Amino acid sequence: MIDLNHIDDLARRLSDLVPPGLRESGEELQAGFRAVLQAGLARLDLVTREEFEVQRAVLLRTREKLEALERAMQAWEARPGEPGVRPHDRDPH
């Protein structure tokens, strides 16, 4: 969800840019800008900072696990075994 305080602030700034002679009611103008901004942002596929940070943390943990698995696999493949046969090429039976 988008922080409504930011939308309200932006709507207020936009209404302040309108020349005084063209302004209807300041509150009506702000409400109109707010509605347009909310509708436009609702169509976008945005995430909150919190959602972004959660996914970032998940990605970092996943990367760490992958790197650990890669190191373990390299160590396992480097183990001595039958000449010319890597451990994953051996017949398990």
- Tell me the pLDDT tens digit for each residue of 53-91: 999 999 999 999 999 999 999 999 988 875 555 556 656
Q: Cα separation of 20 and 67, whole Å? A: 61
Q: What is the pTM of this model?
A: 0.47
What is the amino acid identity at position 20? P
Q: Cα separation of 9 and 12, whole Å? A: 5
* Residue range 21-49: mean pLDDT, rounded: 77
Who's near 90: CB < 8 A, 6+ residues apart? 81, 82
